[in-house]
Structure 1
């Protein structure tokens, strides 16, 4: 049920609005306030899905109500009610964050359409907040080992800056997780986080993927297309497996980092971009430089801050915490009751040679939860976790 507050000092108008909305849907719970000050008190004490607010009112006008409400509950959409002489002010309120305005006397169809649209937007805002929490939780950094604490401390220092970061480590160690945390703890957190797996894109397509292309640039370019640098504008671009990028693409990335501008494939027009680049690799880039496979000047541009993610074998003390974390998530995903791991089972897992790192551990935990007993035992680990 949607909770709607109507703030209107003219009782006749207020009654009309309440009557129209109550007849439109029995899913609308309506409350009234006869002036701006009373309306703001209602907003402070209650949660509303929508506020209809007159502009000209005694004690506190609608503009003031909107401004104060935005400070305390910015997610509530406001529809402003404007008299004939209030249209300029109504437009001003939209600049201040109002969803829309309707004129007096209210047109039935416009009122109902605007209310439905505003409620739909509120629902989207709530869904986005839930989604962001889920995303944040899915990239939770688990561990209390000195190695992980050191990385967490580094992220706290680096994230608020715009410094470029190069993350190194073996496959499956959690380099992507580190990149996500850098983004989420940065001033760019509200902006996009765009990931490019350089190893998964053919060398002849990587430049188009990163910088976009114009129609006709090559055979399959049937329309203009923005690249990842443009898509990540005002956010973070994560270049995973940067060591697999072609030398020609490396040259263009270097230019983008130096000049903060790119040009689409097939175009000589420059496009300004404001992007923080975080890169990751499982390769030894110093050796790649010696072998002529990676540009040294690009390496120095990317590696302003270096973060090395340890292998799971180097942080075995975190394995019980990781097992508990994965077990809870997997049980939730599978819709089954969580399983406990015996102390001997955990000790056995800590002795395991984790060549696949965190990714391998998660797969093994899932296998043990599905195939193991009510409590996962040492015997289960020996039976189902062996290679």
Structure 2
């Protein structure tokens, strides 16, 4: 059996050696790198399966390293850690592609648990990066559009898990199409002739969600004028899709866990339980492992739900699919609105392909609908695109930097611009010099020297130069 190769990137040699010694003892082959740039160079020369990286490092910091690694080798699983954690940093790391984030100091046994889970996740997801998948039931996947490697890998994974009754956890940013994937899994399964029942756990008030899921008997609470079956019974012999599962309150998590364990539910107000045969597909745009760590989500329920985890790629990681998606949406909205928009010119298409799409496929679909309605017919040009897609904000910068007729002192202007950036970085990080230096891609010592030289003061009010 092939030995798993792990690379540890950390500028602190003591921490690096300590983690490396533990993993080597556990049977892994371990490489070491002193920072992100060193790590990228070593990965080019070695076949690495998993990377463990610190965040605060010189030259290339952990966040930039993960971004570059995902662009170069997207199949490699990455676990990040830092002693300087905050919610914004965590969100940026997960968005960049980190599999999990640990706060220092961390337990080595806990680290190995996440290493094993990351490797299991990789085994399910990354086979398609080496071999082109054969999609047998593509006709049943027509609602999910894409020809990129990431999407072909997803199609193959959907086919593999569809015939299993195992619980599936769909993870990914909002707008990536989690419900479409859930429906595809149902349509390819042996339960396809029975109901597919979706429930958005975040859209139903907490005091109604229990009744919505499990049903209630007449008179069980004010307003219960008749007995009503819940979504679980509606999905009997079929599939129940629990969207936004991360928003479910702890008391309901306990009851859901009981249903998953015993295949029995108890309607609100009932004195007996009912047997149900339901396949569960859950979805979330949150990091459930992080919620488990903060005690906001039950660990036992998480492991019940994530028997088969599937990560949906954001649109920015499969930009080659953007023209296909635009053509599909344009055809749909032309038909629905009875318009005759012929398409986008080359410049407009290039602009949209360069955009990062924080709202993913949903944002793109909404934009195409807007363009079709407003244009009506003809070809869409860059002038038809909203300002944020055309990057009109750059004109503000250009106006700010416009050279006055009488000229000005370049050195003073550069000095003022640099001061403003440093102050903004300090304000954004609450005065944390190490995090501010990271935002500015500087060493902490360099930033401190600049602050002393420039006499920039961080106070309770807005920062100023003295």
Specify the TM-score bucket, using the shorter chain as the normaliser: 0.5 to 0.7
Other-structure match for 1:194: 197
SS in 2 for 1:248: helix
Aligned residue in 1 for 2:151: 148
Q: Indicate if the aligned counterparts of 1:191 and 1:234 stay in contact, CA closer than 8 A.
A: yes
Which secondary structure state, in structure 2, belongs to the residue aligned with residue 339 of structure 1?
strand
Does the C-alpha gap of structure 1 residues 268 and 342 become closer, same or farther in structure 2, counting only changes over 3 Å? same
Matching residue within 371, 374, 381 for 2:385: 381
SS of the aligned residue for 2:363 comes to helix
CA RMSD of aligned residues (A): 1.8
Counterpart in the other structure of 1:244 = 247
Instruction: Describe the superposition over 1:333-357 as per-residue Cα deviations: whole angstroms up to 9, x where unpaired.
Output: 1122242222222111011121111
Give TM-score, length-normalised by structure 2.
0.52
Q: Which of these residues, 212, 217, 221, is aligned with residue 214 of structure 1?
A: 217
Cα deviation code 1:184-239 (max 9, x no counterpart): 11111110000000001111111111000111111111111100000000100000
Distance 2:163 2:140 in 1: 20
**CA offsets 1:262-298 (integer angstroms, 9 cap, x no match):** 1101112111101000000011101111111111111
1:175 equivalent in structure 2: 178
State the match for 1:269 in structure 2: 272
Shift of 1:161: 1.2
Contact (CA 8 Å) 1:348, 1:381: kept in 2 or not? no
Q: Which has the higher contact order (CA 8 A, sep 6+)?
A: 1
The answer to whether structure 1 residue 324 and structure 2 residue 327 are counterparts is yes
C-alpha spacing 1:279/1:225, structure 2 compared with 1 (3 Å): same
The aligned runs of 1:201-350 (5 Å cut-off) are: 201-350=204-353
Task: Pick one of 331, 350, 353 that aligns with 2:356.
Answer: 353
Whether the 8 Å contact between 2:141 and 2:184 is mirrored in structure 1 is no
Alpha-carbon offset, residue 163 of structure 1:
1.2
Work out whether residues 168 and 280 of structure 1, in 8 Å CA contact, stay in contact via their aligned partners in 2: yes
Q: Is the contact between residue 214 and residue 268 of structure 2 (CA under 8 Å) also seen in structure 1?
A: yes
Bigger radius of gyration: 1
**1:218 aligns to what SS in structure 2?**
coil
TM superposition outliers: structure 1 runs of 4+ over 6 Å: 136-139
Question: Structure 2 residue aligned with 1:371, among 367, 370, 374?
Answer: 374
When residues 229 and 178 of structure 1 are mapped into structure 2, their CA distance, relative to the original with a 3 A threshold, is same
Preserved CA contact (<8 Å) 1:229 1:273: yes
TM-score (norm 1): 0.63
In the alignment, the residues of structure 1 paired with residue 201 and residue 287 of structure 2 have an alpha-carbon distance, to the nearest angstrom, of 16
Q: SS of the counterpart of 1:374?
A: strand
Distance 1:218 1:227 in 2: 15
Where structure 2 has 5 or more consecutive residues not aligned to the other structure, the ranges are: 1-138, 392-466
Match of 2:72 in 1: none
Paired residues of 1:364 and 1:385 also in contact (CA < 8 A): no
- Report how far residue 313 of structure 1 moved: 1.0
Shift, 1:304, TM fit: 0.7
CA contact (8 A) 2:382 2:390 kept: no
Aligned pairs, number: 252
CA distance in 1, matches of 2:349, 2:180: 24
Separation of aligned partners in 1, 2:390 and 2:383: 11
Deviation at 1:137? Answer: 8.2
Once the two structures are TM-superposed, the CA of residue 386 in structure 1 deviates from its matched residue by: 5.4
**Equivalent position of 1:5 in the other structure:** none
